[in-house]
Amino acid sequence: MGLRMAVATEDFGHPLRQAIRLAAQNPVQGLRLNARSEVKASEFTETGLRQLRHYVAEHQMQVAGLYYPSRHALADPQSLDQRLDGIRATLGLIRRLGTSELLLRIGRIPDPARVEPESAEGTPDNADVDSLRNPFSFAPSAAAFNAKQPSEAQQFHLLCEILNDLANEANHQGAVLQLILSSYESSRIQALLSAVTKGPVGLVFDSATCVMSGRSPVSVFREWYSHVGYVRLRDARKDVDGGGIEVAYGEGAVDWTELPAVLTEAESQAWVCVERTGGDQRAEDVLHAVRSMKAMLPGI
């Protein structure tokens, strides 16, 4: 069975209708839409949603999931209520657009085994506090600065609570949460999947994230393929500082001979979205990547 391939409309740098026309120039079956910049729940009426779905179908494609991006990790306290309200509103669009996937950035998975409180980032230690060097100083002591943050175990528990609530609601709306990870730490992923029980969730496999976190995309996919519900195909290079950067298809460390073959062999029903989130010619890079993979694997 061939891969269900998609592209992301936001990679085409135009308003939605024009982006759909440009995306249709790619030999793919689906379009991934952005639920914050392109399809906002507060701005689309029932009629507007039907027209959008019909317009996508006119171009011989279907909606291949909604992506709800956020500046902060899913459970970050900053703007948490606003973030969750936006996600819940977006869940109401999923089935009406003929799809089932909602992609969410959850950020780094906290370590459930770390129960000690975290020190606030950037707080001084005793050596930095003037009152300890100068007994006549009126500077506060280090203890006044060192407010404790929730432990990683507490942060993990909060993340699981949020995901269980959202997964339960998604299940009632005919949607599935697809979790975008910042790294692929096996023990933490397994702990998270075991703790989220109120509704189905899937993992988003991202080849660029694998490279940037020092993992082999092929080995990561083979480890987690039974849980992968969505695939983002991007290329990347790891840099000397331990991070990485996304690059155009073929210019990074992803093995584009082996990875598409492994995806095909898995016979997954997940959408495979070819993306380019940076660079000066994103649309051209996406088209080149799609055509190159189809040339290597004519059956997709």
| Residue 132 neighbours by CB under 8 Å, 6+ apart | 126, 141, 142
List domains and CATH numbers for the chain: 4-112+154-296 (3.20.20.150), 117-150 (no CATH)
Q: What is the model's pLDDT at position 297?
A: 74
> Is residue 105 a contact partner of residue 73, using CB atoms and an 8 Å limit?
yes
Query: What interhelical angle do 152-172 and 186-195 show, nearest 10?
Result: 50
How do residues 254-284 score in pLDDT, each as one tens digit? 999 999 999 999 888 899 999 999 999 999 9
In which band, very low, low, confident or very high, does the pLDDT at 149 lie, cut at 50, 70 and 90? confident
Q: What is the model's pLDDT at position 16?
A: 97
137-150 average pLDDT score: 59
Average pLDDT of the chain to the nearest whole number: 90
Query: On the CB side of 59, how many CA atoms lie within 13 Å of its CA?
Result: 24
Task: Specify which residues 177 forms β-bridges with.
Answer: 102, 201
pTM of the predicted model, to two decimals? 0.88
Instruction: Specify the higher pLDDT residue, 90 or 243.
Output: 90
> Is residue 68 a contact partner of residue 33, using CB atoms and an 8 Å limit?
no
218-231 average pLDDT score: 96
40-58 average pLDDT score: 96
